[in-house]
Amino acid sequence: MSQTPIPESENVSRRDFLKVIWAGLGGAALLEVGGVFLAYLQPRLAEGEFGSIISVGAVDDFPPGSVTHITNGRFHLARLPDGGFLALYHRCTHLGCTVPWDQAEGRFVCPCHNSQFEVDGEVLNPPAPRPLDIFPITIENGQISVDTGRPVTRQHSDPSQVVYA
Amino acid sequence: MNETPSDNIIQRMRARLWPNGLPRDDRGRMRLVVNNLILHIHPAKVSMRAMRWTYTWGLGGLAAMLLVLLGSTGILLEINYTPSAPQAYLNILELRSNVWFGELIRNVHHWSANLLVVVTVLHLLRVFFTGAYRPPRETNWLIGVGMLLLVLGGNFTGYLLPWDQLAFWAITVGTSVLTYVPLIGDALGRLLLGGPEVSGATLLNFYSLHISFIPLAIFGLMSFHFWRIRKDGGLTNPRGVDETEKVKLERVTTIPHLVRRELVYALVWLAAILVWAMLVPAPLEGIANPDLSPNPAKAPWYFLGLQELLLHFHPLVGAIIIPAAFFIGLALLPFYDVAAENVGVYFRSHRGRSLTVLATGLSLVSTPLWVALDEFVLHWADWLPAWPSLVSNGLVPLAVVALGLILMDEWVKDSFKATVEERVLFLFTFLFVAIFILTIIGIFFRGPGMSLYWPWAMPVVSH
C-alpha cells in the first residue's frame, strides 16, 4: 500500500488566505459603491404631479361610452358603455408616442407608427406589441382617483381590469 | 546698474519656458516634436507614403479637430443655457435673437456634431477597407468602436437639450427602444429618463451626461487611441494591389511636413464649417409638448436605419438583437480577420475589389426590394397568428434574412474561391450598404404614419 501525499492545494497558506480576504473585501466595496450609485440615480417624484395619486372628479362627470384625456395625469379615462372605468396611460406601447383618442373612428390611433387600440386599450393594429398600460383606479364616495405611480402592463385586455363605481 | 538681457523678466521667462527657441535644423525640429506635450502624439519622423492623403483622407485628424471645436463651442453654449423645462427652450430662443453670435455658435456646434458622426463612420470604413485593424492594431480598433458609441451617445444626449418638439419626440422614440431589453429594460429606461417618460428630469440627466461624462470619456479614449497608434508602429503604409511591401520607406521630419499639412487641412475644414453654419441654421421647432406627438415622429437621422428595422421586426429583434449583433461583430472583426498580408491595400486584392463592387450592387438592389416586400407583401403576423409576435414578426423574418446572408456567403466562397478575409469584406460591405440604404429610406422615404412615399411626393406635415 503506497502512501498518497497530501495535495498541496489543501494547505491554504497565510498569503493565499489574505489574498482571498482582500479580494472579497474589494468586491464588497465595489458592490456597495454600485448600490449607492444606483439608489442615488432613482427617479425623483413630485407631489401632485404625474407619478402621484391624481383626483379626477365625480363618477357622474363622465357619461358611459366616453373617453376623457386627463392632461396632468397623462392618461385617458375611458368609461365603457356598461359604466366601468379604465385609466389608460396615453403612452403608446410601441415606442412611447402620445396616443390621442379618435372620436370619429372610435379608437386610439398613434400618430407615429399607426398602432391602433380599442376603447379598452386592446391592440387593433400593430406594431404595438401589447395593449395600452393602465393605472389603478379607486372610487370612493363617487369620487375617482388614479394612482399614476407605476403603469400596469398587461398582455391582454380583460374584464377584470375594469373598475365599477 | 548691470542690466543684461537675461535680467529682463520677459526674456527670463522665455529662456526658462522655451529654452531652444524655434528650431533651425532637422535635429531641432525632431527634438521639438519629442519634447512637446501636444506634438509628441506624432513620431519625430513620419513615412512620406503614409501621409498620402488619398489613403487616410485625414479622417482621424478631422474627428479630433471637430472634438476640439465641439468642446469650445459647447462651453460657450453652456453659459447661456439652463437645463430645465421649459427654460431650456426659452434660452435657445434668447440665444438666437438676443446673444451676439449666439446663433452662429449654436449652428457650428450642431453641424460639427452631425459631421462628427459622418467622419467617425468614414474613418471606421477607411480602417476596415485598408485592413488597418489587423494585428497588432486590434486594441485600437476596439477603442475606436468604443468612441463611435460615445460619439453617438454625445449626439443623442445633445439632441434633447433644445427642448423643442423635434428633440422631445426623437428622444422619446429613441429611448423607448430600451424598454424592450429583456428583464432590465424597464428599470434601465426609468434610470436614464429619471421617470417613466421624457421629462425635466430627463433633460437634467442628459445634460449631465452631455457636458461631463461623455466628453471626459471621449477625451480619455482619444488619448488612448493616439498613444496606441504610436505603440503599434504608426500608421499603416498604403500599397497598390500588386505592390510588394517595401522594407525601406522614405521618412521625413514631422515638422514641417506633417504638421503643416494638418494645419492647412484643419483650417480648410474650419472655414467650410463656418460658411456652412452661417448659411444653414440648426433646426428648431416649437416648444416640446408631451401631449402632442408629431406625425411622423422620427429619431435623430443617424438612428433612422435602426428605426427602419423597427418597422420590419419585433422591437426586441429590430432594436436590440440586430444592433447588438452588429456591434459585437464589429468589435470581433480584428480577431476573426487576422491575415497579416494586404495591410494598406484598399479592398485587399483584385478579387476583393470585385467582391466589394458586387456586394455594394447586391445590397443596393436587395435592401430596398426587401423593404418594399415586407411593407406590401409579407405579413408575418397574419400568416402565423398562433405564435407570439416576437416569433412571427421577429425571429421568423430574422431567420429568413440570416439564411439569405449565409447562402450568399456560401455562394461567394464556392463561386469566387474567396478567402476568409475576402468573405469578411463581402459581408461587411453588404451589411454596411444595407444600413446606409435603410437610413436613406428612413430619412427621405418615410412620411406621415411612417408610410412609404416618394421624396418628391411627400405630404406636407403639420406639427
Q: B-chain residues within 8 Å CB-CB of A113?
A: 310-311, 449-450
Q: Same domain for B388 and B273? A: no
Cβ-in-10-Å burial (0-12, 13-18, 19+) of A145 comes to: middle
Asked if residue B409 is part of any domain, the answer here is yes
Partner B contacted by A40 (CB < 8 A): no
Query: How far apart (Å, rounded) are the C-alpha atoms in residues B151 and B211?
Result: 13
The CATH class of the A53-161 domain is: mainly beta
Chain B contact set for A34 (CB, 8 A): none
A38 with B197: Cβ contact below 8 A: no
Q: Which residues contact B275 (CB under 8 A, 6 or more apart)?
A: none
Average pLDDT of chain A is 86
Q: Is B178 domain-assigned?
A: yes
Per-residue pLDDT, B381? 73
Domain residue spans of chain A: 11-40, 53-161
| Cis amide linkage into residue B281, ω under 30° from 0 | no
* pLDDT for residue B269: 97
Contact B448, B461 (CB under 8 A): yes
Contact B293 A113 (CB under 8 A): no
- From first to last of its 463 residues, chain B has per-residue pLDDT tens of 455 555 788 888 888 888 878 888 889 899 888 888 888 889 888 888 888 888 889 999 999 999 999 999 999 999 999 999 899 999 999 999 999 999 999 999 999 999 999 999 999 999 999 999 988 899 999 999 999 999 999 999 999 999 999 999 999 988 988 888 888 888 888 889 988 889 999 999 999 999 999 999 999 999 999 999 999 988 888 888 888 776 677 889 988 899 999 999 999 999 999 999 999 999 999 999 988 888 888 888 998 998 899 888 888 898 889 999 999 999 999 998 888 778 888 888 888 899 999 999 999 999 999 999 988 888 777 787 778 778 888 898 999 999 999 999 999 999 998 888 899 999 999 999 999 999 999 999 998 878 889 988 888 765 4
Do B216 and B363 lie in a common domain? no
Say whether both B399 and B254 belong to one domain.
Answer: no
Contacts of A98 in chain B (CB under 8 A): 290-293
**Which of A41, A71, A114 lies at the smallest CB-CB distance from B450?**
A114
**Residue B164 phi, psi dihedral angles, 5° rounding:** -105, 180
Same domain membership, residue B286 and residue B164: yes
Q: Look up residue A47 and give its three cell numbers.
A: 407631489
Q: Strand pairing partners for A145?
A: A55, A138
User: Does the distance separating the beta carbons of B294 and A113 come in below 8 Å?
Assistant: no
Task: Give the 3-state DSSP-derived string for B77-97, with helices as H, strands as E and coil as C.
Answer: HHHCCCCCCCHHHHHHHHHHH
Q: Is residue B198 domain-resident?
A: yes
Taking the model in full, what pTM does it have? 0.90
Q: How large is the angle between the packed helices B420-440 and B102-129, nearest 10 degrees?
A: 150
The reply to whether residue B293 touches residue A97, judged by beta carbons under 8 angstroms, is: yes
State the nearest Cα–Cα gap between A149 and chain B, in angstroms: 9
Which run of H or of E encompasses A146? strand A143-147
C-alpha cell, A92: 403608446
Residues B248 and B390 grouped into a single domain: no
Of B247, B281, B308, which marks where a domain is finished? B308
Q: Residue B248 pairs with which residues in a beta bridge?
A: none
Let me know how many helices (H) and strands (E) chain A has, helices first.
Answer: 1, 11
Phi and psi at residue B291, to the nearest 5°: -90, -10
Contacts of A90 in chain B (CB under 8 A): 291
Q: State whether B409 and B263 are in the same domain.
A: no
What residues 422-451 of chain B have any CB closer than 8 A to a CB of chain A? Answer: 448-451
The residues, any chain, with a CB within 8 Å of residue B170's CB and separated by 6 or more, are B159, B160, B297, B298, B299, B300
pLDDT score at B288: 93
Q: Which residues of B touch A51 (CB under 8 A)?
A: 195-196
Q: Please identify, among B308, B329, B355, the residue that sits at the C-terminal boundary of a domain.
A: B308
CA distance, residue B62 to nearest chain A CA (Å): 35
Out of A41, A97, A150, closest to residue B297 by CB: A97
Q: What's the pLDDT at B1?
A: 46
B331 is a domain residue: no
Closest-CA residue of chain A to B388? A129
pLDDT at A5: 61
The answer to whether residues B356 and B301 belong to one domain is no
Interval A22-41 mean pLDDT:
94
Do residues B298 and B442 touch, judged by C-beta distance below 8 A?
Answer: yes
Within-domain flag for B395: yes
Confidence of residue A48 (pLDDT cuts 50, 70, 90): low
**Range A14-37 average pLDDT:** 94
State which residues form the domain around B282. 19-308
Q: Are strands B45-47 and B251-253 parallel, antiparallel or unpaired?
A: antiparallel
- Is B177 within 8 Å of chain A by CB? yes
Is there a contact between A57 and A155 (Cβ–Cβ < 8 Å)? Answer: no
Cell 418628391 belongs to residue:
B456
Q: What is the pLDDT of residues A50-102, one digit of tens each?
A: 778 888 888 888 888 889 998 888 899 999 888 889 999 999 988 888 999 98
- Confirm or reject contact between B201 and chain A (CB < 8 A): yes
In a domain, B86, yes or no: yes
CB distance A114–B311 less than 8 Å?
A: no
Q: Alpha helices of B280-349 — where are they, by DSSP H? A: 304-310, 315, 322-336
Spatial CB neighbours of A3, under 8 Å, sequence gap ≥ 6? none
Q: Which residue among B196, B310, B450 sits closest to A151, beta carbon to beta carbon?
A: B196
Tell me how far apart the alpha carbons of residues A74 and A88 are, in angstroms, rounded to a whole number.
9
CATH number at residue B253: 1.20.810.10
In a domain, B384, yes or no: yes
Pair (B173, B241) in one structural domain: yes
Same domain flag for B268 and B354: no
Backbone dihedral angles phi then psi of residue A28, each to the nearest 5 degrees: -65, -40
Report the relative pairing of strands A101-102 and A107-109 from DSSP bridges.
antiparallel
For residue B229, the 8-state DSSP code is H
Q: What is the pLDDT at residue A46? A: 64
B143 and B283 within one domain? yes
Query: Which residues does chain A have within 8 Å of residue B450's beta carbon, measured at their own beta carbons?
Result: 112-114
Domain boundary among the residues B258, B284, B308 is at B308
* Residue A60 burial (C-beta neighbours within 10 Å; 0-12, 13-18, 19+): exposed
Do B408 and B301 have their domain in common?
no
Contact A49, A41 (CB under 8 A): no
Question: Looking at beta carbons, which residues of chain B come within 8 Å of A112?
Answer: 169, 173, 293, 295-297, 450
User: pLDDT for A113-130, tens place per residue?
Assistant: 888 999 999 998 877 888
Cβ(A126)–Cβ(A140) below 8 Å: no
CA dist A68 to A75, A106, B5, Å?
Answer: 8, 13, 86
Q: Within this chain, do residues B112 and B168 fall inside the same structural domain, yes or no? A: yes
Rounded distance, CA B269 to CA B272, Å?
5
Q: Does A73 touch chain B (CB under 8 A)?
A: no
Question: Higher model confidence: residue A2 or residue B437?
Answer: B437
Q: How many domains does chain B have?
A: 2
Residue A111: closest CA among chain B residues belongs to which residue?
B295
Residue B335 counted as domain residue: no
* Inter-chain residue contact B176 with A126, CB threshold 8 Å: no
